[in-house]
Structure 1
Amino acid sequence: MAMKQNKLPAAYYRGGTSRAIIFHQRDLPVNQKEWSPIFCGALGSPDPNGRQLDGMGGGISSLSKICIVGPSKHPDADVDYTFAAIGVKSMDVDYSSNCGNMASAIGPFAVDSRMVTAREDGEVTVRIHNTNTGKIIHSTFPVVGGEAAADGSFAIDGVHGTAAKIELAFIKPAGSKTGKLFPTGNITDMLDGVEATCIDAGNPCVFIQAKDIDIDGTILPDSMDSNPELMSKLETIRQKASVAMGLSKDEASAPQSIPKIAIVSPSTSHKLLSGDTLDENTVDLVVRALSVGQPHRAVPITVAMAIAVAANIKGSTVYPNTSSTRADISGVTLGHPSGKIMVGAKFDDDGSLATAIVFRTARRLMDGTIYWK
């Protein structure tokens, strides 16, 4: 018997180099176990063709995301933000990590949906509690006519054009899931015969050097994806890191989205996805990151944060690959397949990580009603 489609209020935002459907928590079932079929249906998962044509997903991990936003009971926050990474070819719904790119859209969504009251024109700071990690993020951006500004002169690599600048300050991001900056107790560990730094700042991550796995550090995503031996090696290291960091009891049960893994190499001039050349003098090191088994076309924000921290720590796998002369004295500048990103890391007097700051853009693409079968 034919049935009517299901429907719920929702919005669709670009945040940094990602896109996601955003739901207000009040519109979802109280029982979180009932969320999975809604999220998968709305995005078009599972799709064995990997395209999510029957939903709003884009066929890659950075475009297969869900955000849930609601009022916060945290004393230092205005809203709660829960992130879910959705499988493209599967019905996996993973709440184990935060998405820093989509975090840039949460403040604008809170203002646009009137969850947070802002002045008609000026600047506003929305305090966000990320429930995946328990961490606080301060999102500061301009407001025009009581709504988050879209127009502006700030550009980020990987997104065409310019938009309003959004400052994201991640407050004390160390130990987001493990409670420690170095969950294994070591600055480096040997994982599957490869030296690796396991670090938890924003999200748990594992960093290895391109030279140690005998690849060109400027390799582009499609070339990585078409190299099954390389992808298998990276996944094995990632799973071993999960066990070493205490994120899973064994390799088979390692979460899909954490730890994230990235390959680092010294700065060198090389071709980007756009065909343009990235000048080696404009970045401090080169990064190639993966998430949910897919190479990223731009470095995830939480990976960039963790790399910026590791770049300042002698003995880490990132430190020797980082230029001693900074391209931007405000922080560490990373080269990625779509361009570059600068991350500022501020430390307390005791050496602990106080704040990591990045700048992004975001925009409301639509809001209304979303349908799924």
Structure 2
Amino acid sequence: MTASRSQRTQEFQQHWSEQVTQLRIPAVYMRGGTSKGVFFHQYDLPKDRSVRNAVLLRVIGSPDAYGKHIDGLGGATSSTSKVALISKSSRADCDVDYYYGAVSIDKPAIDWSGNCGNLTSAVGPFAITEGLVEAPADGSAMVRIWQANLGQRIVAHVEMRNGAVAEDGLFELDGVAFPGSEVMLDFLNPGGDSGGTMFPTGKPIDAFEVPGVGKVEATLINAGNPTIFVEAHVLGLTGIEMQREVNADPELLSRAEGIRAHAAVRMGLAASAEEATCSRPHTPKLAFVSKPKDYFASNGKQVAAKDVDVVARIFSMGQLHHAMTGTGAVAIAAAAAVPGTLLSRLLGDKLHPSIRFGHPSGTLTVGAQASHVGDSWMVNKATMSRSARRLMEGTVFVPASITSNR
């Protein structure tokens, strides 16, 4: 694997320097959880950030005014318009560095402000298969990941069989058509590893005014990604709405974005709501939650109220997510494990070290370990399981003019 990797890199560097119509860049297309993205070794891409972003936009096929990504590898949804950059880590406590880019579909922009928890499940398998991390021939391999966007440590537990990553298995993940091998992810200190605080305002519940919406109560939390929780009724919803009906309502999406943008200002992530909308479409995430209700998931399977602790939905890049973002699941786990949050209130002010919630594609169980430190609470670890699979590997082509014009 190392030899072929070196050979591909040399080939890439040769083509980079030659006058060719298209550049050839080594890449791997992977599914991670309920997302898909294009994975690169960071050193295979241009060092200049503006050139690198231009290349990555062209790989995905953005911006696309038609919203289809016909001329790229993107899938024209927030779950499939993603890139990941992986390299060996210089940190003693991590094996690899992982940068995540959320690629806008209709704008020439990549948001590097957050993480994709779903795609994180593919980082460990990628790192092992690409020879960046040594792993046992059989059993569980531990890959220590530095999530460079957020400055967070994540540990992936990857099953190995006969010297290779085990991708087939019996683990079922709602939102994914086929079962696979379970990848367990431990998000270590998800609210404060980069020097921040779990509650940026210092309060588990905030209240603020949003033009066109009114007074909004919300939990603003840094866990996984910066996340905003509101109760469904704030948006005029019941909590069990599905992706198609929400995304077909532009007025509702506008209200949701208004809440998200104004909350971003309160979290110190943007100077104005306008800046949050224009420059930070990926984070913070807005989620709405409610008490358990019966509903049918997108595959027709019934989700019974008695089988979940809460129901949740989350917006991603301006649209309702088809399932649940991985970082949203981490935030749910963290908020449920700490008293005084909106999630805790919905749960009857009981602390839940493990919680099962309903989302548009089914259900998911997550957990968190929280401790009381001084006058504040701290989540030491949040845990969830996903599956991942290598879909395609080889070279991706982009027009050489992308770099010559810059």
Same fold (TM over 0.5): yes
SS of the equivalent of 1:348 reads strand
Q: Distance in 2 between matches of 1:367 and 1:269?
A: 42
Q: Distance in 2 between matches of 1:237 and 1:177?
A: 26
Structure 1 residue 260: deviation in Å? 0.3
CA deviations 1:98-121 (Å, max 9, x no partner) are 111111000000011111111222
Q: 1:46 aligns with which of 63, 77, 80?
A: 63
- Does the CA-based 8 Å contact 1:61-1:292 persist in structure 2? yes
- Other-structure match for 1:360: 386
Q: Distance in 1 between matches of 2:94 and 2:350?
A: 37
Structure 1 residue 214: deviation in Å? 2.2
Supply the AA of the counterpart residue of 1:230: L
Provide the alpha-carbon RMSD of the alignment: 1.8
Structure 1 residue 321: deviation in Å? 2.4
Q: Distance in 2 between matches of 1:152 and 1:271?
A: 26
- Other-structure match for 2:267: 245
- Other-structure match for 2:324: 299
- Does the CA-based 8 Å contact 2:337-2:369 persist in structure 1? no
Aligned residues: 370
- Other-structure match for 2:120: 103
Q: 2:310 aligns with which of 252, 274, 285?
A: 285
Q: Distance in 2 between matches of 1:308 and 1:150?
A: 26
Structure 1 residue 323: deviation in Å? 6.6
SS of the equivalent of 2:79 reads helix
CA 1:323–1:299: 2 relative to 1, 3 Å = farther
Paired residues for 1:250-261 under 5 Å: 250-254=272-276, 255-261=280-286
Q: Distance in 1 between matches of 2:323 and 2:194?
A: 23
CA 1:330–1:146: 2 relative to 1, 3 Å = farther
Q: 1:231 aligns with which of 243, 253, 256?
A: 253
* Residue range with higher mean Cα deviation, 232-241 or 305-314: 305-314
Q: Distance in 1 between matches of 2:130 and 2:141?
A: 14
- Does the CA-based 8 Å contact 1:177-1:200 persist in structure 2? no
SS of the equivalent of 1:13 reads strand
Q: Distance in 2 between matches of 1:161 and 1:323?
A: 36
Unpaired segments of 5 or more residues in structure 1? none
- Other-structure match for 1:163: 180
- Does the CA-based 8 Å contact 1:298-1:336 persist in structure 2? yes
- Does the CA-based 8 Å contact 1:178-1:245 persist in structure 2? no
Q: Distance in 2 between matches of 1:320 and 1:107?
A: 36
TM-score w.r.t. structure 2 length?
A: 0.88
SS of the equivalent of 2:283 reads coil
* Residue range with higher mean Cα deviation, 249-258 or 305-314: 305-314
**1:340 maps to 2:363:** yes
Supply the AA of the counterpart residue of 1:361: S
SS of the equivalent of 1:320 reads helix
Q: Distance in 1 between matches of 2:32 and 2:151?
A: 20
TM-score w.r.t. structure 1 length?
A: 0.95
Q: 1:202 aligns with which of 213, 224, 237?
A: 224
Structure 1 residue 176: deviation in Å? 6.2
- Other-structure match for 2:199: 182
- Does the CA-based 8 Å contact 1:17-1:159 persist in structure 2? yes
Q: Distance in 2 between matches of 1:365 and 1:196?
A: 39
SS of the equivalent of 2:332 reads helix
- Other-structure match for 1:221: 243
- Other-structure match for 1:172: 189
- Does the CA-based 8 Å contact 1:96-1:257 persist in structure 2? yes
State the identity %: 38
Supply the AA of the counterpart residue of 2:41: H
Unpaired segments of 5 or more residues in structure 2? 1-18, 400-406
- Does the CA-based 8 Å contact 1:283-1:335 persist in structure 2? yes
CA 1:103–1:143: 2 relative to 1, 3 Å = same
SS of the equivalent of 2:55 reads helix
Q: 1:311 aligns with which of 330, 336, 342?
A: 336
Structure 1 residue 243: deviation in Å? 0.6
Q: Distance in 1 between matches of 2:194 and 2:287?
A: 18
- Other-structure match for 1:269: 294
Paired residues for 1:7-156 under 5 Å: 7-156=24-173
* Residue range with higher mean Cα deviation, 192-201 or 341-350: 341-350
- Does the CA-based 8 Å contact 1:11-1:23 persist in structure 2? yes
CA deviations 1:182-207 (Å, max 9, x no partner) are 10122222232111111111111111
- Does the CA-based 8 Å contact 2:339-2:349 persist in structure 1? no
Q: Distance in 2 between matches of 1:349 and 1:208?
A: 24
Q: Distance in 1 between matches of 2:314 and 2:193?
A: 19
Larger Rg: 2
SS of the equivalent of 1:151 reads coil
Q: Distance in 2 between matches of 1:257 and 1:303?
A: 12
Supply the AA of the counterpart residue of 2:275: S
- Does the CA-based 8 Å contact 1:176-1:204 persist in structure 2? no
- Does the CA-based 8 Å contact 1:176-1:201 persist in structure 2? no
